[in-house]
Structure 1
Amino acid sequence: MTSLVDNDDERGAEIPNRQVLAFMFRHWIEEPGRFALILAFMLGSILCDLTIPWATRALVDTVGRADHPVDKAWIAWATLSGLYLGYWILRLYMFRLSNGYYSRIMARMVTRAFRRVQDFSSDWHASTFAGATVRRVGRAMWGYDSASDSMLWGLIPTFIVLAGLSISIGLHWFWAGVFVAVLVTVFAVYNVAMINLYIRPANLAANALDSGIGAALADALSGNAVVKSFGAEDREARRFEAHVDRWRNAQRRTWNRGNNVGLGQNLMMVALQAGLTGFLVHAWSKGQATPGDVAFAVTSFIVMAGYLRTFGENTRNLQKGLDDMSDVASYMRTPPQLADRAQATAFRGQSGAVVFDKVTFGYDRQAYPLYENFSLAIAPGERVALVGSTGAGKSTFVKLLQRLYDVDEGRILIDGQDIAGVTQASLRRAIAVVPQDPNLFHRTIAENIAYARPEATMEEIILAAKRARAHDFIARLPLGYDTAVGERGVKLSGGERQRVAIARAFLADAPILVLDEATSSLDVETERQVQAAMEELMAGRTTVVIAHRLSTIRHADRILVFEGGRVIEEGGHFELVAKGGAYARLNAVAEALA
């Protein structure tokens, strides 16, 4: 059995850190004034931190003087205390400003990711676990929070403070400054190298398995009816537990590697403490340093140690945040697979004349094109039925008509307009589709009907429901049109979902109608009601019907028999039966099974 993590969708995006950092930085500078103010508070707090060792040195030297200068001692004390107070006040306001700034960026990030994913092609969505995508987008939002905190409030201040203290120490005790600078540089290089080469691979593997948890949840919960019908709850629970166990082991490996890296960090911190204070004690023993200088060295180490202790953690959190954002950063760098042309105009047709003009098209996974030099014309208002075996090209015809895929060669015209030159949204508003299994949103019935035209009035929604033979069953519901239908419409029967979809199509009032085997799964009585509603819906519209039940298309103006991406027969029902060809054989089988 193939595991979820074996799917290409579950490996996650591994793009260079610089690209994810650029993605994060673009979000920072969208509010330049707020960003600059936050940086000003941050730099102010860093300046206080850099000055504290010098203020400590001044206080210790003052209180150690033989002349006992009390006033100067209190001034030195006030200076040191003021620096501590200033540090915390500046950081407090820095974080208060950041709260609104961060939340707005996170909101923009998740909404833009949603828009981009919505723009991706139907083929992309068919190949991608929806649950994994949900997990990735949510993880990126919090990954930004973690990475920004680590960068702005952790690593940038750390580099400034460590560089500043190394320079200030070196100005007074050259070799001590060199020692600090070298050790801090080794510490930084060690952390960055270990996190990129040792921790990041484990983290990416854990992220992929984390996405798989969302995929596994969505896969099992969306198929809950099938699970229950086979009494497979325990089996699904065991399958999910096995996946969670794989994630748990991967996450533990990531954390353990972090602890391993921490051992080297701690050893270097001990070396820094011993070396820096050792330099100053040696200088004091030679009469080259005062007690205040030693206090300066100790305080400098305490300040540096505070930053170094969090340096490794901040570096790990930054890398984890970048890894968490990498999928969404990859989404934002990936152009939609099917985009509007630069000069695309709105579709303006009304009659519904359809022309396939020498169209060649093949799916990426196929060695040969399905359609090759395919031409077909459908007159305005004509009812055309497409029949044929699975894979013959019927559904592809409709997908190309909606421009869910672009043709490889040739063109498709609707009312004389090349559909590749109009906006996708305006084109699809001109084509109403009633699928075999209507997908309703977990919203009210009124909202589902109005999805075709959100600005519709309640009177227009009710009229559409009446024309779709849906009003009576809706009126019997306790909340009527305010009834929530459940995820994918599971609270409604198949016939009720079909009639809501037909009401939606009535409200769309599009010139072209596509009926994709819309009555195949209904009982006889419900089928009659739905068929009557569809007859009214088809009136005056160009209609394309995909049918397997041939009894539903006897009155079509033209029946097209597809085979291998070609139309091998066309005509009326009785004409094709009389020919004794492929359609006649399909009809004979259908009558035998009836």
Structure 2
Amino acid sequence: MKDKIPNTPFAYIWYISRANKWSAVIAVSMIVLAAAIDQSTNYFFKLIIDSAEANDFDAVFLYAFLFPIVIFGVQLLYRLSTFFIRRWVTKNRKISYDILTNYALNHSHAYFSDRFAGSVMNKVSNVVMAAETLILDNMWSLIPSTVGFLVSFVFILQTSVPAGVAFLLLIAFLLLINKKMSIKKRVYSRAVAQSKTELVGNIIDIFSNVQAVRQYSRRSEEQIRVEDATSKHLSDHSRTWGYSEWMLFYNCIVLFIFSLLMIWFLVLNWQSGEIGTGDFIFVISLLASITSPLLNIGRAFNSVAQATGEMQEGLEDLLKPNEIVDVTDAKPLQVQNAVIDWNNVSFLFENKPVFTDFNLRIEPGQRLGLVGQSGAGKTTFVSLLLRQHEIPSGEILIDGQNISKVTQDSLRRAIAVVPQEPALFHRTIKENILYGNPNATEEEMIKVAKQAQAHDFIMELEKGYDTLVGERGIKLSGGQKQRVAIARAMLKDAPILILDEATSALDSESEVAIQKALECLMEGRTVIAIAHRLSTLRKMDRIIVLEQGEIVEDGSHNSLSTAGGIYEKLWNHQAGGFMLED
């Protein structure tokens, strides 16, 4: 499914149903046929009464015998239809999860930075479940009810034209009013979906940072935050529920008045002899059989309005245009020397200039250290190289290839990143290391783990490489997580390496082990290292000092540490190996 994904509920359902269209067509056809026959069974009452009045008892017994057989056939059709509905719905669920997750993963770094991770997942789940609700409500409520109304209208019209016209007007009135009321219900339902997303996002955020909650003794404050979000969600939900009940009550009143008038009209016509007893009983039975569908039409509109509201809220956010996309003729990045060039790059963040006509060349295999106070542009430098943001002017080249003209996947495959806080999955250590190269052998995995100084501590764990690390690696220490991340980067074997303050949060003992691992990792690669602990940069070939997005100093550690500039000042102001912020 390479074409554009629709962001409106029913268009989206059709889009995900195309792969299962025959299951959908067969299911709908069987439901329509079953509903038509089901509503027509009331005609047996007329046939039986007319035959009894004519003393045709053979016909009476025949119709009485056929009646349960037809009813059984109707139920059989309904039951058979569930087989196709199940296939349709379950396959749609998988397709929906797949395409929404895949599309969301193509959003930029900024998209996820502005949202709770839990809220994005909640929107995906809301869309999937609401799409399923819409299909089931249509299959079991709206379609059978609509078919029942049409069949009843035809029969009533044949019996009495005025009664048929009155019935048609009733249906039109109910549909019009419920459609109008459902518009407001959709607005309420979107508010419910939004407040639910906010609530779920807050709860997941709290549990994801439960250690901080405990360490700062902020449980009561977080409880208040959740209670506020819960109160908002409860208020939105109560308002929606109340409006739903009002819709159902309104339908009930309208149907009650219509039924009284219709029965009064039929009694008068029967007394005057304009319709026979069979017709009278037949129409009454039709009215009785459609009473429940008529009452349920409001409930169905309610459910559909709620589901479409939830879907619309989720689809509009999830299916926003991807901020960064590959150009039409994008080709894979081909890296031979890993030369990086920044040519007149300008970039603004939140309307504030970070880089203006920035130029830099990083030679193949060069180890470059980035130094600067907070806000100097170090993190943005890395983000732009990874193409997490688009640059409005200038270009970044790798081996002469503009990174905006190559595929994003190939660009990121060529760059390994070891961040200050490694992103580990709630999976085994083995799975986390193999994330760098899923096709690597176990021997290759163990080799890089040893090179990363991780093998020994891993083997001391009860389950070794099969140990689950917990969410974000919470079961491991900072140094252990960092070594797993280094092993993963080694296994990736990318020609360009970014070390984003990889040792700034570690104790001295852990740093010694990780420095050994980093030495092995940097071998033969073009390296960009950001560090607050300047001692980690002494072995860099070249160090540049950034200030407000400009290179103010450029040279080796030895030359800069005695040049009387910013780097020397930072070096002399270190305490315990860290930079002191001015």
TM class, shorter-length: over 0.9
Among 33, 43, 46, the residue aligned to 1:44: 33
Aligned length: 573
Aligned 8 A contact 1:403 1:420 in 2? yes
After superposition, residues 280-291 of structure 1 pair within 5 angstroms as 280-291=266-277
Tell me, in whole angstroms, the C-alpha distance in 2 between the residues paired with 1:221 and 1:28.
36
Tell whether 2:303 aligns with 1:314.
no
* CA positional deviation for 1:278: 2.2
Tell whether 2:8 aligns with 1:19.
yes
Query: What SS does structure 2 have at the residue aligned with 1:421?
Result: coil
Aligned 8 A contact 2:31 2:77 in 1? yes
Aligned 8 A contact 2:7 2:315 in 1? no
Deviations 1:140-184 (A, max 9, x none): 222112111112321123223213322332233111111111111
Aligned 8 A contact 1:38 1:98 in 2? yes
Which one is further off, 252-261 or 231-240?
231-240
Deviations 1:421-471 (A, max 9, x none): 211111111111000011111111111111010011110000000110111
For residue 524 of structure 1, what is the aligned residue in structure 2?
508
Aligned 8 A contact 1:203 1:320 in 2? yes
Among 435, 439, 457, the residue aligned to 2:419: 435
Tell whether 2:445 aligns with 1:458.
no
Query: What SS does structure 1 have at the residue aligned with 2:573?
Result: helix
Instruction: Calculate percent identity across the aligned residue pairs.
Output: 32
What is the identity, as a one-letter code, of the residue corresponding to 1:394? K
* CA positional deviation for 1:122: 0.7
When the two structures are superposed, what TM-score results if normalisation uses the length of structure 2?
A: 0.95
For residue 559 of structure 1, what is the aligned residue in structure 2?
543
Among 91, 94, 97, the residue aligned to 2:78: 91
For residue 478 of structure 1, what is the aligned residue in structure 2?
462
Tell me, in whole angstroms, the C-alpha distance in 2 between the residues paired with 1:471 and 1:503.
10
Aligned 8 A contact 2:36 2:151 in 1? no
Tell whether 2:267 aligns with 1:267.
no
Tell me, in whole angstroms, the C-alpha distance in 2 between the residues paired with 1:348 and 1:171.
77
For residue 244 of structure 1, what is the aligned residue in structure 2?
230
Tell whether 2:299 aligns with 1:299.
no
Tell me, in whole angstroms, the C-alpha distance in 2 between the residues paired with 1:592 and 1:435.
21
Tell me, in whole angstroms, the C-alpha distance in 1 between the residues paired with 2:29 and 2:257.
33
* CA positional deviation for 1:529: 0.9
Query: What SS does structure 1 have at the residue aligned with 2:456?
Result: helix
Which one is further off, 178-187 or 18-27?
18-27
Query: What SS does structure 2 have at the residue aligned with 1:21?
Result: helix
For residue 71 of structure 1, what is the aligned residue in structure 2?
58
Among 100, 109, 134, the residue aligned to 1:113: 100
What is the identity, as a one-letter code, of the residue corresponding to 2:208? S
Aligned 8 A contact 1:462 1:471 in 2? yes
For residue 387 of structure 1, what is the aligned residue in structure 2?
371
For residue 207 of structure 2, what is the aligned residue in structure 1?
221
**Structure 2 stretches lacking a partner, 5+ long:** 1-5
Query: What SS does structure 1 have at the residue aligned with 2:322?
Result: coil
Aligned 8 A contact 1:361 1:371 in 2? yes
Aligned 8 A contact 1:150 1:315 in 2? no
Which one is further off, 319-328 or 248-257?
319-328
* CA positional deviation for 1:276: 2.3
Aligned 8 A contact 2:533 2:577 in 1? no
Among 348, 351, 362, the residue aligned to 1:378: 362
Tell me, in whole angstroms, the C-alpha distance in 2 between the residues paired with 1:483 and 1:228.
25
Tell whether 2:334 aligns with 1:348.
yes
Deviations 1:259-285 (A, max 9, x none): 112221001111232222222211111
Aligned 8 A contact 1:147 1:320 in 2? no
What is the identity, as a one-letter code, of the residue corresponding to 2:131? Y
For residue 122 of structure 2, what is the aligned residue in structure 1?
135
For residue 3 of structure 2, what is the aligned residue in structure 1?
none
For residue 203 of structure 1, what is the aligned residue in structure 2?
189
What is the identity, as a one-letter code, of the residue corresponding to 2:180? A
Tell me, in whole angstroms, the C-alpha distance in 2 between the residues paired with 1:212 and 1:255.
19
Tell whether 2:129 aligns with 1:150.
no
Query: What SS does structure 1 have at the residue aligned with 2:423?
Result: coil
- Structure 1 moving runs of 4+ over 3 Å: 591-594
Aligned 8 A contact 2:7 2:312 in 1? no
Tell me, in whole angstroms, the C-alpha distance in 2 between the residues paired with 1:102 and 1:570.
61
Query: What SS does structure 1 have at the residue aligned with 2:562?
Result: helix
For residue 191 of structure 1, what is the aligned residue in structure 2?
178
Tell me, in whole angstroms, the C-alpha distance in 1 between the residues paired with 2:17 and 2:48.
40
For residue 7 of structure 1, what is the aligned residue in structure 2?
none
When the two structures are superposed, what TM-score results if normalisation uses the length of structure 1?
A: 0.93
For residue 397 of structure 1, what is the aligned residue in structure 2?
381
For residue 472 of structure 2, what is the aligned residue in structure 1?
488
What is the identity, as a one-letter code, of the residue corresponding to 1:304? I
What is the identity, as a one-letter code, of the residue corresponding to 1:171? Q
Query: What SS does structure 2 have at the residue aligned with 1:115?
Result: helix
Deviations 1:286-312 (A, max 9, x none): 111111111111111022212112111
Tell me, in whole angstroms, the C-alpha distance in 2 between the residues paired with 1:444 and 1:503.
14
What is the identity, as a one-letter code, of the residue corresponding to 1:21? F
* CA positional deviation for 1:369: 2.8
After superposition, residues 498-577 of structure 1 pair within 5 angstroms as 498-577=482-561
Among 7, 11, 17, the residue aligned to 1:28: 17
* CA positional deviation for 1:562: 0.6
Change (3 A) 1:55 1:459: same
Tell whether 2:247 aligns with 1:258.
no
For residue 13 of structure 1, what is the aligned residue in structure 2?
none
Aligned 8 A contact 1:55 1:76 in 2? yes
For residue 5 of structure 1, what is the aligned residue in structure 2?
none
Which one is further off, 578-587 or 418-427?
578-587
Query: What SS does structure 2 have at the residue aligned with 1:152?
Result: helix
* CA positional deviation for 1:591: 5.5
Among 220, 230, 237, the residue aligned to 2:216: 230
